[in-house]
Amino acid sequence: MVTDPQTTYADNGQIWIRFARYFSQVANMVFYAPIFRDYFWRNLEEFRADNVQYIELRSSLEGVFDLDGTVHDEEFGLQLYKNVTDEFVKAFPDFSGAKIIRSGSRNSSADKILEEVKTAMYLHKKYPNFMIGYDLVGNEAYFNPLLFYIEALLYPSMQNPPYELPYFFHAGETNWQGTSTDDNLADALLLNATRIGHGYALIKHPKLRHLVRERNIPVEVNPISNQVLHLVSDPRNHPMTALMADNFPIVVSSDDCATWEALPLSHDYYMAFMDLSGQDADLTFLKQLAINSIKYSQMEQHEKKRAMKLWQAKWDTFIKQIILEYLLDCDYNGSKCDL
Amino acid sequence: MVTDPQTTYADNGQIWIRFARYFSQVANMVFYAPIFRDYFWRNLEEFRADNVQYIELRSSLEGVFDLDGTVHDEEFGLQLYKNVTDEFVKAFPDFSGAKIIRSGSRNSSADKILEEVKTAMYLHKKYPNFMIGYDLVGNEAYFNPLLFYIEALLYPSMQNPPYELPYFFHAGETNWQGTSTDDNLADALLLNATRIGHGYALIKHPKLRHLVRERNIPVEVNPISNQVLHLVSDPRNHPMTALMADNFPIVVSSDDCATWEALPLSHDYYMAFMDLSGQDADLTFLKQLAINSIKYSQMEQHEKKRAMKLWQAKWDTFIKQIILEYLLDCDYNGSKCDL
């Protein structure tokens, strides 16, 4: 914890170093199998307490260990997530569930990524409604661009018949035009990404913007992350303000919220509402964001329908509560209410 | 002068107070008639030394005084600018000249602005090729929006026959969506602005963006000003990066460059080149900016033709010089030259 983060971590490169260290600091602690179960259960609890009813989580799936030295494989990790999710949904039927995106690291070798893609195909085939696809994470500016892994990433579509492994690439998490991070955005789209993580650079690429709109590819926007990692200081300059105003398919996400001790999602919603919208934005803005998050999820149609129904009931209750509070407030103050 | 401007002037509102004080501090000094002549002559000299060959200048035209207490009217101010410009062009035929935009203040009364618009019409009619139109300047967030002056600003078009007084409105100099400053942009376009000053907010308004492109209305971008006045910290987040990449009609301007002791224009070109373009931008970016500044000027066709010829000759010389320097450098180092 530092009191002057702007000075201590003066730019995106410096804060990334500290940010990356966080993960190695906590990894050993949470990857011990019994703890990992509790950890993920608590994760779901906190999301639910934050009024989030469904999540899609990126995870490496690797590295869960037991005290006898066993390091479990990816399928073990996936099953652990699945079991905990199933139990949680049973315990809390108002929670719609979770799905997993298997995420590799941009500093791996091309061979390693090819193995991961193959495993991801296997897991996606075996658990099609839980393991929903593949992504690559890590500092785009310091590690390899998507192009470096092109053979691995094209592997599924080169099979006979082609295998459709959905991609959820982090891409274009930069404000620096013409860099390889910037190019990642083009490659993510050329690789038929199902959804784009960050896509911060999208605003500067008219052709890619056109493509995103035409294919209706949702972009996951992470307002707090972008500020913490020095992409933007005053979030009113966030490029997604323009794309949101232009009705692009945007969902608000929270990236690595635990790292900066933000709430699971509502702090990011708050920032989106205060800064990424206009001064004249109202409840309809928040409502649209919530609807988008279901609409652009990877739930199946019947799951979406059920989730929307659940959400609509919660929304209606929320609105009724607000109105009630307002009425009580009027009564208490003896003031006139214009409802 | 402060050593920590980010702390001393923490936001746009605070730096505007200091910024506005600058003008009252220097006004008395430069508005004394004989000094004002020298001041404007020196102005032109500095622009020429900075390789700028033509300018369009905003001025109130008011307040030039003599020691006997006479405060001269706007026509006196305009004639002074015209005489100095004519002399300067005679002395330096490689300079293409200057034209004046009469700019009123956003904190004036509606009656005062109506008088100014009437005078502007009179001066525009009498000096059509020198006094090119009208604008309103000052802090959009603290003073009146364009709508406040709607009767005055519609006055020319309400005449029989309508009089066409070109408007060069400062509008949308904000990153705060949904404010009255934001709305100014819409009003500037509804009032048929010939050119827009700043237009920082344009990116967030798809309909206005469409209008600007359709009507080919140039936007004057002032990169250093926007940073100094806390609109944007990292200029790679400047919204004009996106509009430039999308081939919008952009000209780079320097707002109040003297205030922050920047060069007349080249520092703003430098910032545009380094930050508002991509890492892969090259000479063609700078060339297009220079061409735009002639293309979107208010020069008449024959003047533009002459200015372009002058500019082309200077550009060619510059390119030849660079090549020559590079060749000499190769020779000196005994290294191989790939030309």
pLDDT at position A83 over 70: yes
Q: Which of B177, B200, B233, B280 to mutate to test the interface with A (most CBs of A within 10 A)?
A: B177
Q: In terms of pLDDT, which residue wins out, A337 or A263?
A: A263
Residues of A in Cβ contact (< 8 Å) with B179: 279
Residues of A in Cβ contact (< 8 Å) with B245: 177, 204-206
Query: Inter-chain contact A177–B245, Cβ cutoff 8 Å?
Result: yes
Asked whether the beta carbons of A105 and A135 are under 8 A apart, the reply is no
pLDDT at position A38 over 80: yes
DSSP string, B25-69: HHHHHH-BHHHHHHHHHHHHHHHHHTT--EEEEEE-----B-TTS
**Predicted local distance difference test score (pLDDT) of residue B330:** 67
**Cα B302-B136-B31 angle, rounded to 5 deg:** 85
CA distance B62 to B74: 5
Residues of A in Cβ contact (< 8 Å) with B280: 177-178
**Predicted local distance difference test score (pLDDT) of residue B23:** 86
Element (H, E) at A196: strand A196-198
Give the relative orientation of helices B206-215 and B180-190 as an angle to the nearest 10 degrees.
Answer: 30
**Predicted local distance difference test score (pLDDT) of residue A25:** 87
Give the relative orientation of helices A180-190 and A206-215 as an angle to the nearest 10 degrees.
Answer: 30
Q: Hey, which residues 113-172 in chain A have their CB within 8 Å of chain B?
A: none
Query: How would residue B7 be classed by pLDDT, with cut points 50, 70 and 90?
Result: confident
**Predicted local distance difference test score (pLDDT) of residue B336:** 59
**Predicted local distance difference test score (pLDDT) of residue A99:** 98
Length of chain A: 339
Query: Which residues of A are designated catalytic?
Result: 173, 198
Q: Does A205 touch chain B (CB under 8 A)?
A: yes
**Predicted local distance difference test score (pLDDT) of residue A333:** 58
CA distance A120 to A320: 45
Query: Inter-chain contact A178–B280, Cβ cutoff 8 Å?
Result: yes
DSSP B99: E
Q: Which of A230, A232, A242 sits opposite B204 (nearest CB)?
A: A242
Interval B133-180: pLDDT, tens: 999 999 999 999 999 999 999 999 999 999 999 999 999 999 999 999
Q: Which two tokens stand for residue B324?
A: 């020559």
- Cis status, amide bond into B166, omega within 30 of 0: no
Q: Which of A176, A241, A277 sits opposite B236 (nearest CB)?
A: A176
Q: Which of A307, A298, A161 is nearest to A217 (CA)?
A: A298
CA distance B262 to B254: 8
Residues of A in Cβ contact (< 8 Å) with B246: 206
pLDDT at position B303 over 90: yes
**Cα B293-B294-B297 angle, rounded to 5 deg:** 85
Q: Rounded to whole angstroms, what are the CA distances from A299 to A69, A303, B326?
A: 36, 6, 61
CA distance B117 to B111: 10
**Predicted local distance difference test score (pLDDT) of residue A7:** 84
Query: Inter-chain contact A179–B203, Cβ cutoff 8 Å?
Result: no
**Predicted local distance difference test score (pLDDT) of residue A332:** 59
Interval B87-140: pLDDT, tens: 999 999 999 999 999 999 999 999 999 999 999 999 999 999 999 999 999 999
CA distance A227 to A268: 11
Asked whether the beta carbons of A56 and A132 are under 8 A apart, the reply is yes
Interval A171-218: pLDDT, tens: 999 999 999 999 999 999 999 999 999 999 999 999 999 999 999 999
Interval A96-155: pLDDT, tens: 999 999 999 999 999 999 999 999 999 999 999 999 999 999 999 999 999 999 999 999
Element (H, E) at B16: helix B12-30
pLDDT at position A339 over 90: no
CA distance A206 to B59: 37
pLDDT at position B263 over 80: yes
Q: Does B181 touch chain A (CB under 8 A)?
A: no
**Predicted local distance difference test score (pLDDT) of residue A334:** 58
Query: HSE-up of A87 (CA within 13 Å, CB side)?
Result: 13
Asked whether the beta carbons of A292 and A250 are under 8 A apart, the reply is yes
Q: Which of B171, B140, B135 is nearest to B56 (CA)?
A: B135
pLDDT at position B10 over 90: no
Interval A228-241: pLDDT, tens: 999 999 999 999 99
Q: Does A293 touch chain B (CB under 8 A)?
A: no
pLDDT at position B334 over 70: no
**Which residues 6+ apart lie within 8 Å of B70 measured at CB?**
none
Measured between CA atoms, how close is A285 to chain B, in angstroms? Answer: 13
* Dihedral (CA of B155, B160, B165, B169) sign: positive
Q: Does A86 touch chain B (CB under 8 A)?
A: no
**Predicted local distance difference test score (pLDDT) of residue B328:** 74
DSSP A174: -
Radius of gyration of chain A (CA): 21
Q: Any long-range contacts for B105-108 (C-beta under 8 Å, 24+ apart)?
A: B105/B60, B105/B136, B105/B137, B105/B138, B105/B143, B106/B136, B106/B137, B106/B138, B106/B139, B106/B140, B106/B143, B106/B144, B107/B138, B107/B142, B107/B143, B107/B144
Mean pLDDT of B312-318: 96
Q: Which two tokens stand for residue A62?
A: 């690797």
Query: How would residue B26 be classed by pLDDT, with cut points 50, 70 and 90?
Result: confident
**Predicted local distance difference test score (pLDDT) of residue B135:** 98
